[in-house]
Structure 1
Amino acid sequence: MSQGTLYTSGTTRCLPVQALIKKFNLDITSVDKSTVADFEKKFPLGQIPAFVGPKGFKITEEIALLYYVTGLIPDEKVKTVLKGKTDAEKTQVLRWVSVGNTNLFSAIFGNILSIKGITQFNKKENDGRFALIEKYANVFEERLKTHTYIATEKITLADLQCATAWTTACSSILGADFKKAHPYLVRWLNTVVASELGKLAFPEFKYAEKALAYVPPKKEKKDKPKKAEQQPKKDAAKKEEAPAPAEKKPKHPLEALGKSTFILDDWKRKYSNEETREVALPWFWEHYNPEEYSIWKVDYKYNDELTLTFMSNNLVGGFFNRLTASTKYVFGCMVVYGENNNNGITGAVMVRGQDYAPAFDVAPDWESYAYAKLDPTKDDDKEFINNMWAWDKPVVVNGESREISDGKVLK
């Protein structure tokens, strides 16, 4: 009897599960989701890998599927090694599987997509993700100085999952400098890739000789409009009935403040394309006009309800998307600090004028946030603004230092 159907695509997220199926000859059929017309009817979130087992039993989420497929392996000793023998080992395996599948993976793919131009490139966000990748690399490096594998003394699901993230990064956005700086991580990765399961999961893996770099798209030259042909005088004399004027859209309330001497678009370009601490922030403070703009500390009111950090970051992204009507008048960053099931959202946002409400009330959820005006003439407030826009220092919350895990730029 068939053990089920695995729905996949070209993404590397499917590699560990596919390797297990091949290695242990499991009776599972692999199908590319693009060939299945009703895939999203079966799986409304549209995510892969996904699985349908006997009697319509369904599984989504990569970690759950990885553990389920491992459970189908007939050799109990093999299953024990892959999942961990003792409770302590099982916990460590699950811990590292989660590490390889959450923030690290999101940071890697976020930079790949933006560098390739698939998503909008933003230097600040890319730098933030690279800093997060480096932080993870250092954690791996410390662990692997004294251990051959990442969770136990043998290859486990943790090694497969984490190697999926690092092979993706090292074959694209991380170059020779990264390899040189992290010899223990590279030694471990080579060991996993050369293993029996690794050969099945990563058969085409090669280190990038040179890291991918963003290349701005070339601006298309616009053809000059041709001059309208001169109409005969008798035609010009004829007056055609003019079309009714289109109904004017209501102006944004901040439009009434007129043009400012501080050119917001100049600042946004400077921030996106220059080093934040070294170039962008000094430029900002040199040109900022506090009579035309004000800067506000923005805090999410319900941090106790937040769970996973990537979900908190998605919450910020949704809030920013709903502020689209005000983007001509605002700039700022909001960050997620802390870790899964213990995190919060804060940030610093500059708005045109001296009142925050006209800029934020275009978003239906704006009242879910608290707003406090910052005074850049005070050292603490200026330091908070710099830290929020640079993302390179921990956030101090109630006297406690909390690491930044992710964030978004509003511009």
Structure 2
Amino acid sequence: MSQGTLYISKSPRNFASKALISHFKLDVKIVEKDQASEFASLFPLKQVPAFLGPKGFKLTEAIAIQYYLANLITDDKEKARILGSNLIEESQILRWSSLANSDLCSNIARPFLSFSGMMPYNKKDVDAAFTKVDNIAAVFDARLRDYTFVATENISLADLHAASAWAFGLSSILGPEWRAKHPQLMRWFNTIAASPIFKTQLTEFKLAEKALTYTPPKKQKAEKPKAEKKKEEAKPAVEQKPKPKHPLEALGRSTFVLDDWKRKYSNEDTRPVALPWFWEHYNPEEYSIWKVGYKYNDELTLTFMSNNLVAGFFNRLSASTKYMFGCLVVYGENNNNGIVGAVLVRGQDFAPAFDVAPDWESYEYSKLDPTNEEDKEFINNMWAWDKPVVVNCESKEIADGKVLK
């Protein structure tokens, strides 16, 4: 009886799962998701890897799937080597697998997707991602100066999973110069790559000869035909209609100067200086404050992608920014996160400020009352970013966020 079907993509991140199936001859079918018509109906999030086991058993998330696959190994000695033979080894294997699966993969993905044109390029975000990759590499280097493998004295699931994650970067954004700076990590990677359990997955794998970098799009200026130019010159000048005024313009100037607040927030410490200044000058008759939350948190995946979603939303609010200020934060972790925040708006209705963005209805809005201590504390926390977000009585750390100003 078949032990199940593993749905994957061509990414190097799937090497570990495929290595377990191949090396230990597990009766698991491997299918690329784009070639499986049933995949989308089985797994609505459409994320890989995904596993369909006997009797309709479903499993997602790479580490969970790899643990399940490793437990199908019939040789108890081999199983203990891969998963750990005691609690300390098992914990270390989980630790290194988790580091590679979350922090490493997401920070390799950010520049890779930007350089490949699959998401907007933001130099600040890309530089921050490379810094995090370097910091993670330093953690691996420190361990590998004294040990051959990352978690135990043998090749374990942690090595397979981490090598898959590093392969993703080493084949794309981490070129020869970067690799030369990390000899311990590269010695370990080459050891795993040459191992019987892993080498079959690397038949087509190549280290990047040159690191993938950002190439700005070329600006093309189309030259109009001379006949068309003359025709345009002959046209009488058309009077341009004035742009329609923003509906909030009708409210007139307020005694609360929003630009003063934005400068105070940008240039002063938030808790001790900026927030007290805000509450001293805020006029609730001129402005209202709204809790804004994304409606479809269950569809969010990587935290940096959720943060990019917020950035896009704020960009599309540009026509209203002179009437608004606020923060939306991303709380939680990869594949388990949400978006929420507090936004200050001119007037007492949120719609005129937000409906300039095509995706404004993807968010829900509820008015906050600053005279209520709980609401005021929520506003302070959203603008200070220094405390966890409480969701269903559970604290969630803030992973990222954006400021609208």
Q: Under TM normalisation by the shorter chain, which class is it?
A: 0.5 to 0.7
What letter is aligned with 2:89? E
Question: Superposition pairs for residues 320-339 of structure 1, below 5 Å?
Answer: 320-328=311-319, 330=321
Structure 2 equivalent of residue 127 of structure 1: 127
SS of the residue corresponding to residue 228 of structure 2 reads coil
Does the 8 Å contact 1:313/1:407 carry over to 2? no
Deviation at 1:5, TM superposition (A): 1.5
SS of the residue corresponding to residue 80 of structure 2 reads helix
Question: Superposition pairs for residues 344-383 of structure 1, below 5 Å?
Answer: 364-365=363-364
* Compared CA separation, residues 5 and 345, structure 1 to 2 (3 A): closer
What letter is aligned with 1:109? A
Question: Superposition pairs for residues 11-410 of structure 1, below 5 Å?
Answer: 11-224=11-224, 227=228, 251-252=245-246, 294=263, 296=265, 316-328=307-319, 330=321, 364-365=363-364, 406=400
How many residue pairs match? The answer is 336
Deviation at 1:346, TM superposition (A): 11
Q: State, as a whole percentage, how many aligned pairs show the same letter.
A: 43
Q: Deviations over 1:38-60 (max 9, x none)?
A: 31111111111112222222221
* Compared CA separation, residues 173 and 41, structure 1 to 2 (3 A): same
User: Partners of 2:184 and 2:178 in 1: how far apart?
Assistant: 11
Q: Deviations over 1:353-407 (max 9, x none)?
A: 9x9x899756545669999xxxxxxxxxxxxx9xx9xxxxxx9779xxxx99655
SS of the residue corresponding to residue 91 of structure 1 reads helix
User: Partners of 2:153 and 2:159 in 1: how far apart?
Assistant: 11
Deviation at 1:195, TM superposition (A): 0.9
SS of the residue corresponding to residue 5 of structure 1 reads strand
User: Partners of 2:22 and 2:183 in 1: how far apart?
Assistant: 30
If the length of structure 2 is used for normalisation, what is the TM-score? 0.67
Deviation at 1:228, TM superposition (A): 8.7
Does the 8 Å contact 2:320/2:354 carry over to 1? no
Q: Deviations over 1:177-216 (max 9, x none)?
A: 3222222111111111111122023333333232111111
* Compared CA separation, residues 104 and 409, structure 1 to 2 (3 A): farther
* Compared CA separation, residues 175 and 43, structure 1 to 2 (3 A): same
User: Partners of 1:406 and 1:202 in 2: how far apart?
Assistant: 35
Does the 8 Å contact 2:40/2:46 carry over to 1? yes
* Compared CA separation, residues 254 and 116, structure 1 to 2 (3 A): farther
SS of the residue corresponding to residue 227 of structure 1 reads helix
Deviation at 1:229, TM superposition (A): 9.2
User: Partners of 2:181 and 2:143 in 1: how far apart?
Assistant: 15
* Compared CA separation, residues 207 and 314, structure 1 to 2 (3 A): closer
* Compared CA separation, residues 46 and 366, structure 1 to 2 (3 A): same
Deviation at 1:336, TM superposition (A): 6.6
* Compared CA separation, residues 33 and 111, structure 1 to 2 (3 A): same
SS of the residue corresponding to residue 196 of structure 1 reads coil
Deviation at 1:311, TM superposition (A): 6.1
Structure 2 equivalent of residue 7 of structure 1: 7
Instruction: List alignment gaps of at least 5 residues for structure 1.
Output: 231-247, 259-288, 372-384, 389-394
User: Partners of 2:28 and 2:68 in 1: how far apart?
Assistant: 12
* Compared CA separation, residues 301 and 256, structure 1 to 2 (3 A): closer
User: Partners of 1:348 and 1:175 in 2: how far apart?
Assistant: 42
* Compared CA separation, residues 347 and 211, structure 1 to 2 (3 A): farther
| Cα root mean square deviation, aligned | 4.7
Instruction: List alignment gaps of at least 5 residues for structure 2.
Output: 232-241, 253-257, 272-289, 371-382, 389-396
User: Partners of 1:91 and 1:138 in 2: how far apart?
Assistant: 21
What letter is aligned with 2:73? I
Q: Deviations over 1:8-37 (max 9, x none)?
A: 221223211111111111111112211222
